[in-house]
A and B are shown apart, each in its own frame.
Chain A
């Protein structure tokens, strides 16, 4: 199937002018999925909605790729108290800029998806947490939410049923870590964005101690597609183990960077050369980062036959992440790039737990030393060691995300690093 991506018609952001307006959205079948469910609750019990979504295997688009329906099924039975859906629009992983497209071009699809999710999990309040820098997009989504309230898709007695769901938008103020789901909950509660230790998991003990599910914006936008067309139809799109349409954010040294919607499983090289117009200035490809800064980089020579889905990327030692593909040409200085990534994680560590707080700084400082021409050979192994000491020992995955690029960039571009150290002021012999 990977071959027929060229004939793919966008589903998440179809080519319909003014689709962000509720009239246009409705004219094009918008809110049909919600109506379908609410008008036929015998067929579409809460459980069967979850089952359908689980079958479809929408893998979380926030980075971890977890089956959305399965996640929903972790919510405990309702006890009459509040239950929440927290929608993650923090979008701060370097290389990632796709959720904003949904806010801008098809916000109602996301609203509809989160309504279906809320119905399925008996959620009464949806919080949408958007990064503070995205104020322009908060406004766009707010307009759509207001429209949805006016049309009776949100609020009391939705479409005349006994289902009532509210949606509140809010935003952060500059902190990548608030994209980590439990840090986001803390931030929603008005606090410093410190990730929580798990267990307890948010489904048991989330916002204000109540059952809460966290999903990425794009993940939720996939939900109406599944309800409208069925899990089987959805499962046929793209890669088998990781199906569906994806918003690929392509950046770096390509001629036409931007966000493109294609199925999963599209060959990486097609994405670069055909979709994004090839490398700028006719240069050669050196490396890519497939899914945001935390996913391990791959050398150009590793990319033959590799496709954008979790299995294929895993085979070559990387991950799908957020599908934010960063492309680097032959002139790219990998030492500089890696230092900059390490700088990012150092800057963004919440500082709560030891290995990350003190490890991210250590990584950055040693890389800076190498970059500035003061590195020693032993620093390379030190970096790997420090990484090993951090990975898997922290409260949240930011530390892992900081370690992976360091480990794999050094391993996959070791020559370049050694070269730099050899030329350094400390070089011996």
Chain B
């Protein structure tokens, strides 16, 4: 195996990977400061921050042997200039000195940071990026103590709405061109360019054009400073006040890996989480807007239609009692249950199993597909996160008409988490006759038309798995407490600073944002108790364990594996998701 020596330590590398030095250094868990390099884009080497000292061993022309010095060490020919490690190809025998072992290199990096900062406004106290700003972090670690720049800074446009979602402060820009390269190489909309020349340079759109790229917010993520910020998130919260929880994008079939950022149990933003197999570093803007549905318009407490069309809140006891009575009053053959590609594998499975135990027919589900909505990248025709999950657990896939005729024939319809009216599979009048029960996260046309609505946890509140359009199973974690969960007791939930140190007596913690809802399995446990049914799952983990032992495709798969492997590809036939 070829070798390189970094700060005196020998490492072997894989020639096949054709890696650059900086990436290799990062892969070893070592560090060299950098700004413009991004592993998924071309390498312009323009920030010049990642400079290191590089040499190669001298070989005897004739024998091909390494030449040795008096001490028997290999003779090294040092490059006359520092090299940018991001654009330096590994070479067998290469010797590298980083800032860790070379004062010269450390000084060069410091010098470079001094240059970057001369025209930077240094307005961290009012900058959204502060706290997660590579420039701030690297300056702190590697930068100069002060600046010797005592002349005038360059002025450039500030708070420019580049498009509907992204705001530019050109003075903060360090011209790394990541945003421009993103629109050229990743989203391919070519909406951004650098304009002007020299220290007047900054990125923008063509005049009169909007930066409405469906992936525009990724530029905010990759901007190494606060030059590009999310218009929606601007000034909402400081990064260190929030709590970051891994999750899955549920707005389409791709299942982009994401992080949910919460403060006081409110999801404030969504950012992509890297997964080479699914979404790399990216996600569509649409998926980020989903945070609102985790906070707002939630079904909070069960509700029931007593007279006419008016729903009113009711107690859990009453809801369970009503539900049980409806089930007892009707023959199982008159009951239709509809599962959902919008709900997780565990929810669908528990839901279906529960009613099967009562003798109700297997649940149906209908995919939620808008042909032509997808872009072949991260936006899919499939509007639901778990169509393949419904298939894996063998729910009956049905088209709209078959759902309609089933509903028409039923006396009781039980719908899991799917706005069938809103997406025009059913009409409100279809639900007039049967007694309709919805288990739902958010208010919708379907819940409005339902006789009984059971509030259930959303993806931000439970651990559950979803099988994406490519057959990859991935899972969520609870990020947001409900009325019945507690961050400090639930070891699965992470705690941010305010979660940990806030108390009910300060401004940071409140009960307000906790929704009165239950996980589907938990609710069914309670309903089962009332009906005397042998049905009990303490955790979605138990539901999944049962699934993995009973379904071939899920064999050997567990939450642990999904966590370790960033999701697991299932051995399923690639089935076309039909409309």
Residues of A close to B151: CB separation below 8 A:
362, 365-366, 368-369
Q: Quick one: given A197-B87, A350-B197, A353-B47, are A393 and B116 in contact (CB under 8 Å)?
A: no
Question: Is A354 among interface residues, defined by CB-CB distance under 8 A?
Answer: yes
Interface hit among A43-51, A55-63, A73-81, A341-349: A341-349
Question: Is B115 among interface residues, defined by CB-CB distance under 8 A?
Answer: yes
Q: Quick one: given A192-B194, A358-B119, are A351 and B44 in contact (CB under 8 Å)?
A: no
Question: Is A357 among interface residues, defined by CB-CB distance under 8 A?
Answer: yes
Interface hit among B198-206, B213-221, B374-382: B198-206
Instruction: Return the contact of B45 from the options A368, A382, A395 (Cβ within 8 A).
Output: A395
Q: Is the CB of B197 within 8 A of A349?
A: yes
Q: Is the CB of B199 within 8 A of A349?
A: yes
A394 to B108, CA, bound (A): 12
A359 to B84, CA, bound (A): 18
Residues of B close to A395: CB separation below 8 A:
45-46, 48
Q: Is the CB of B148 within 8 A of A354?
A: no
Chain B residue nearest to A379 in the complex (CB): B150
Q: Quick one: given A353-B48, A393-B108, are A358 and B197 in contact (CB under 8 Å)?
A: no
Residues of A close to B201: CB separation below 8 A:
351-352, 357
Within 8 A of B (CB), among A75-90: none
A382 to B147, CA, bound (A): 11
Question: Is A360 among interface residues, defined by CB-CB distance under 8 A?
Answer: yes
Question: Is B175 among interface residues, defined by CB-CB distance under 8 A?
Answer: yes
Q: Is the CB of A351 within 8 A of B198?
A: yes
Question: Is B111 among interface residues, defined by CB-CB distance under 8 A?
Answer: yes
Q: Quick one: given A365-B151, A393-B112, are A354 and B198 in contact (CB under 8 Å)?
A: no
B284 smallest CB distance to A (angstroms): 29
A395 smallest CB distance to B (angstroms): 7
Q: Is the CB of A393 within 8 A of B175?
A: no
Chain B residue nearest to A361 in the complex (CB): B199
Within 8 A of B (CB), among A412-428: none
Within 8 A of A (CB), among B49-91: 49, 51, 80-82, 84, 87
Question: Is B233 among interface residues, defined by CB-CB distance under 8 A?
Answer: no
A399 smallest CB distance to B (angstroms): 10
Q: Is the CB of A358 within 8 A of B80?
A: no
Residues of A close to B266: CB separation below 8 A:
none
A385 to B148, CA, bound (A): 10
Question: Is A14 among interface residues, defined by CB-CB distance under 8 A?
Answer: no
A346 to B151, CA, bound (A): 15
Chain A residue nearest to B148 in the complex (CB): A382
B112 smallest CB distance to A (angstroms): 6
Question: Is A392 among interface residues, defined by CB-CB distance under 8 A?
Answer: yes
Question: Is A355 among interface residues, defined by CB-CB distance under 8 A?
Answer: yes
A351 to B48, CA, bound (A): 12
Question: Is B451 among interface residues, defined by CB-CB distance under 8 A?
Answer: no
Residues of A close to B154: CB separation below 8 A:
361
Within 8 A of A (CB), among B128-160: 148-149, 151-152, 154
B329 smallest CB distance to A (angstroms): 75
Question: Is A272 among interface residues, defined by CB-CB distance under 8 A?
Answer: no
Question: Is B118 among interface residues, defined by CB-CB distance under 8 A?
Answer: yes
Question: Is A389 among interface residues, defined by CB-CB distance under 8 A?
Answer: yes
A361 to B84, CA, bound (A): 23
Instruction: Return the contact of A346 from the options B45, B149, B196, B198 (Cβ within 8 A).
Output: B198
Question: Is B114 among interface residues, defined by CB-CB distance under 8 A?
Answer: yes
A175 smallest CB distance to B (angstroms): 7
Which interface residue of B87, B151, B152, B154 has the most chain A CB atoms within 10 A? B151
Residues of B close to A358: CB separation below 8 A:
115-116, 118-119, 199
B558 smallest CB distance to A (angstroms): 46
Q: Is the CB of B175 within 8 A of A357?
A: yes
Within 8 A of A (CB), among B410-445: none
Q: Quick one: given A348-B198, A359-B115, are A353 and B46 in contact (CB under 8 Å)?
A: yes
A393 smallest CB distance to B (angstroms): 6
A320 smallest CB distance to B (angstroms): 21
Chain B residue nearest to A388 in the complex (CB): B111
Within 8 A of A (CB), among B98-117: 108, 111-112, 114-116
A257 to B154, CA, bound (A): 38
B150 smallest CB distance to A (angstroms): 8
| Size of the chain B interface, CB-CB below 8 angstroms | 35
B135 smallest CB distance to A (angstroms): 11
Residues of A close to B200: CB separation below 8 A:
351
Which interface residue of A358, A360, A365, A368 has the most chain B CB atoms within 10 A? A358
A235 to B80, CA, bound (A): 31
Question: Is B554 among interface residues, defined by CB-CB distance under 8 A?
Answer: no
Q: Quick one: given A197-B87, A357-B175, are A350 and B112 in contact (CB under 8 Å)?
A: no
A354 smallest CB distance to B (angstroms): 5
Chain A residue nearest to B193 in the complex (CB): A192
Instruction: Return the contact of B198 from the options A347, A362, A394 (Cβ within 8 A).
Output: A347
Residues of A close to B458: CB separation below 8 A:
none
Question: Is B168 among interface residues, defined by CB-CB distance under 8 A?
Answer: no
Question: Is B464 among interface residues, defined by CB-CB distance under 8 A?
Answer: no
Chain A residue nearest to B49 in the complex (CB): A354
A389 to B117, CA, bound (A): 14
Q: Is the CB of A354 within 8 A of B80?
A: no
B154 smallest CB distance to A (angstroms): 7
Instruction: Return the contact of A362 from the options B44, B112, B149, B174 (Cβ within 8 A).
Output: B149
Instruction: Return the contact of B112 from the options A348, A354, A365, A382 (Cβ within 8 A).
Output: A354
Q: Quick one: given A348-B198, A351-B198, are A389 and B48 in contact (CB under 8 Å)?
A: no
Residues of B close to A355: CB separation below 8 A:
48, 111-112, 115
A357 to B36, CA, bound (A): 15
Q: Is the CB of A389 within 8 A of B46?
A: no
Residues of B close to A354: CB separation below 8 A:
46-49, 112, 115-116, 174-175
Q: Is the CB of B111 within 8 A of A361?
A: no
B97 smallest CB distance to A (angstroms): 16
A159 smallest CB distance to B (angstroms): 43
B153 smallest CB distance to A (angstroms): 9
Q: Is the CB of B198 within 8 A of A360?
A: yes
Q: Is the CB of B111 within 8 A of A350?
A: no
Residues of A close to B44: CB separation below 8 A:
197, 352
Within 8 A of B (CB), among A360-416: 360-362, 365-366, 368-369, 382, 385, 389-390, 392-395
Q: Is the CB of B174 within 8 A of A197?
A: no
Q: Quick one: given A351-B175, A369-B151, A393-B112, are A357 and B198 in contact (CB under 8 Å)?
A: yes
Q: Quick one: given A389-B114, A393-B112, are A197 and B197 in contact (CB under 8 Å)?
A: no
Q: Contact string, A193-221, partner B, CB cutoff 8 A, digits 1/0?
A: 00001000000000000000000000000
Chain A residue nearest to B116 in the complex (CB): A354
A43 to B114, CA, bound (A): 59
Q: Contact string, A14-43, partner B, CB cutoff 8 A, digits 1/0?
A: 000000000000000000000000000000
Residues of A close to B199: CB separation below 8 A:
346, 349, 351, 357-358, 360-361
A204 to B44, CA, bound (A): 18
A343 smallest CB distance to B (angstroms): 11
A353 to B87, CA, bound (A): 14
A323 smallest CB distance to B (angstroms): 26
B220 smallest CB distance to A (angstroms): 22
Q: Is the CB of B197 within 8 A of A175?
A: yes
A177 to B118, CA, bound (A): 23
Q: Is the CB of B118 within 8 A of A362?
A: yes
6 shortest A-B CB distances, which residue pairs? A365-B151, A389-B111, A351-B201, A351-B198, A358-B115, A392-B81
Q: List 30 A-B contacts (CB under 8 A).
A: A346-B199, A349-B197, A349-B199, A351-B194, A351-B197, A351-B199, A351-B200, A352-B44, A352-B175, A352-B201, A353-B45, A353-B46, A353-B47, A354-B46, A354-B175, A355-B112, A357-B115, A357-B201, A358-B116, A358-B118, A358-B119, A360-B199, A361-B118, A362-B149, A365-B151, A389-B112, A392-B82, A393-B51, A394-B48, A395-B48
Question: A residues touching B (Cβ–Cβ < 8 Å)?
Answer: 175, 192, 197, 346-355, 357-362, 365-366, 368-369, 382, 385, 389-390, 392-395
Question: Other CB < 8 Å A-B pairs besides A355-B112, A360-B198, 11 of them?
Answer: A351-B197, A351-B199, A352-B46, A357-B198, A357-B199, A358-B115, A361-B118, A361-B199, A362-B149, A365-B152, A389-B111
